[in-house]
Chains A and B, each alone.
Chain A
């Protein structure tokens, strides 16, 4: 018979990361992480979302033991994190935002150094370095010193560096920052691929990245974790139904249409970026009927309809809604 405590233990074992009341206060002045309780399931691609300064990077650094918590504790695969938690760090591959790399080294030298730091024997290290450099598309740059690398190349080398020890957990901080579209696509594809065999935590404020790759999500705001759950849970929080109508015609006509739409029951409308009309449909009102009513008004106006966008920014809206709710809670937060 399974006892309740053993079930609890099993659940803990299924977690890659677990924090309890994790708090970080800098110099008794700045609260970077505020009483955070976080659980990241093993094998998930977890998006850590939040505006700049929300405490995402601090959280990752606390997990790595680069910083010490003011209160609370963090565990990775059941082991406590801390400055000398070598066992924890051997399970983690970390990619910092715009990684600072030793400019005097060449890529192979750098990855070899990191392989040695991870105590990898030569017969494992060498082939892995070659494979990684090939995977991140830096085979052609092995003769160059790192100081000559572009931002994108540095990020790709940083990605390779985080994978040298083949760790089961990856903590990637803003992996797409400063990347051109093709490099960005490559990185997102890689995260999706790695997510099949590893637990990946991606800290970012770019919502579309999260939308594309993550199956679980945590939203941070002012050091607090204001939401954790699956992407499905997150999208279900979006109580409003939004459409964006792209129109062609005079700005005055768009404004007039906006007033007419806003007069319909349970529908709110506002002009967004000149020629676009953002329409929000209240809960409980039929989307199709509302849209039909709106389209009738468009047809009656002097405007021509170019496109209708729906649900494209569901995550963004849910995210913004969460932030607004958190702000509105005030003292009760």
Chain B
């Protein structure tokens, strides 16, 4: 089979997914919520850059620019965007228009989820990247900082991952509860005290405030900071700690007495969370994101339209 035929076969197979993705992105882009959010986030970023222009070093200023995405207020917009696709009055339009066509429910769900993730990340990156470039390149009356490209990329990826997780959480809650308003209220009540909830499971490291605090340190990390052997050891150690954290989480959840706390990893400095493990944060947010999408798919599969 020649490659053109193969490509066209894949193209035909992916056609419904791409059609829903494009349609949803277009619809979202035309919505007032997204346009207002884009305007507001650009304005806030401009204000933050302007007001801290001569006060903060590069790393601290970039971390302060990422604060609204991680902590407040943009999580609210992101969960609202995640909640809407399969709940409320939209369900009827959905059944009449799309789900009565030769499209599987998983295909539909994956396409709408992707559209929301792509849109949220686009708005975030479109605003934040020019702001970071401006902060790095401009000559400002502050001491020189050691922010690295690797640090910037990883910090942006971590915030992107948290936003993806929030969209997925909204998606799952909207699918489970069916009523968008109720889903948003539940998410606000879950996400506001998330630090408290995470500390209950000894997972404070993953709270958005801890992440934001550690981001200025992450921004100063370089790609070749440690030699290969040390890096391997760190990864093994991270994996062990992550396994402990997961075990502890399920122990607390099932009411079993958790294991006594192990000694703190090196990168913790007296509960201040001035640094984080990229590996663990990726797993800590990545796995729940995947779990949310899978659970939402299962829930949607069993639902009557």
Segment of A11-19, A81-89, A280-288, A315-323 in the binding face: A81-89
Closest partner residue, chain A, to B19 (CB atom): A116
Q: Does B252 contact A (CB under 8 A)?
A: no
* Chain A CB within 10 Å, residue with most, of B99, B101, B302: B101
The residue that B103 contacts in the complex, of A101, A110, A117, with Cβ under 8 A, is: A117
Q: Is A100 within 8 A of B92, CB to CB?
A: yes
Interface residues of A in 95-117 (CB under 8 A from B): 96, 99-102, 104, 110, 113-114, 116-117
Residues of B near A92 (CB, < 8 A) are 100
Q: How far is the CA of A113 from the CA of B302 in the complex (A)?
A: 25
Q: How far is the CA of A94 from the CA of B95 in the complex (A)?
A: 10
The residue that B104 contacts in the complex, of A86, A100, A121, with Cβ under 8 A, is: A86
Q: Is B16 within 8 A of A101, CB to CB?
A: no
Q: Is A67 within 8 A of B101, CB to CB?
A: no
Chain B proximity of A86: nearest CB distance (Å): 5
Q: Is B101 within 8 A of A89, CB to CB?
A: yes
Residues of A near B20 (CB, < 8 A) are 117
Contact status of A90 and B105, CB under 8 A, knowing A84-B301, A99-B96: no
Q: Is B97 within 8 A of A84, CB to CB?
A: no
Q: Is B104 within 8 A of A68, CB to CB?
A: no
Contact status of A66 and B30, CB under 8 A, knowing A101-B96, A116-B15: no
Q: Is A83 within 8 A of B102, CB to CB?
A: no
Q: Is A94 within 8 A of B105, CB to CB?
A: no
Task: Count residues of A near B (Cβ-Cβ below 8 Å).
Answer: 30
Q: Is B96 within 8 A of A86, CB to CB?
A: no
Q: Is A96 within 8 A of B16, CB to CB?
A: no
Q: How far is the CA of A86 from the CA of B99 in the complex (A)?
A: 10
Q: How far is the CA of A101 from the CA of B95 in the complex (A)?
A: 10
Q: Is B95 within 8 A of A117, CB to CB?
A: no
Q: How far is the CA of A99 from the CA of B20 in the complex (A)?
A: 19
Q: Does A119 contact B (CB under 8 A)?
A: yes
Interface residues of B in 10-33 (CB under 8 A from A): 12-13, 15-16, 18-20, 23, 27, 30
Residues of A near B101 (CB, < 8 A) are 89, 114, 117-118, 165
Contact status of A117 and B98, CB under 8 A, knowing A67-B305, A83-B301, A104-B30: yes
Q: Does A217 contact B (CB under 8 A)?
A: no
Q: Is A66 within 8 A of B100, CB to CB?
A: yes
Q: Does A237 contact B (CB under 8 A)?
A: no
Interface residues of B in 88-122 (CB under 8 A from A): 92-93, 95-106
Q: Is B102 within 8 A of A118, CB to CB?
A: yes
Q: Mark A118-146, 1 if CB is under 8 A from B, else 0.
A: 11010000000000000000000000000
Q: Does B266 contact A (CB under 8 A)?
A: no
Q: Is A117 within 8 A of B304, CB to CB?
A: no
Residues of A near B95 (CB, < 8 A) are 61, 66, 96
Residues of A near B100 (CB, < 8 A) are 64, 66, 89, 92, 94, 96
Q: Is B16 within 8 A of A116, CB to CB?
A: yes
Contact status of A66 and B304, CB under 8 A, knowing A113-B23, A121-B12: yes
Residues of A near B305 (CB, < 8 A) are 61, 66-67
Contact status of A84 and B104, CB under 8 A, knowing A66-B305, A99-B96, A101-B96: yes
Contact status of A89 and B93, CB under 8 A, knowing A67-B304, A116-B19, A119-B12: no
Q: How far is the CA of A327 from the CA of B12 in the complex (A)?
A: 52
Q: How far is the CA of A117 from the CA of B100 in the complex (A)?
A: 10
Residues of B near A94 (CB, < 8 A) are 96, 100
Q: Is A84 within 8 A of B15, CB to CB?
A: no
Binding site for B on A (CB under 8 A): 26, 61, 64, 66-68, 83-84, 86-87, 89-90, 92, 94, 96, 99-102, 104, 110, 113-114, 116-119, 121, 161, 165
Interface CB pairs A-B, < 8 A, 20 = A64-B100, A66-B305, A83-B105, A84-B106, A86-B104, A89-B101, A89-B103, A96-B100, A100-B93, A101-B93, A104-B30, A110-B97, A114-B97, A116-B19, A117-B19, A117-B98, A117-B102, A118-B16, A119-B13, A119-B102
The 10 residue pairs across chains A and B that have the minimum distance between CB atoms: A116-B19, A90-B102, A66-B305, A117-B101, A67-B304, A94-B100, A100-B93, A86-B102, A89-B102, A96-B96
* Extra contacts besides A101-B96, A118-B101 (8): CB < 8 Å: A83-B301, A113-B19, A116-B15, A117-B15, A117-B16, A117-B103, A119-B16, A119-B102
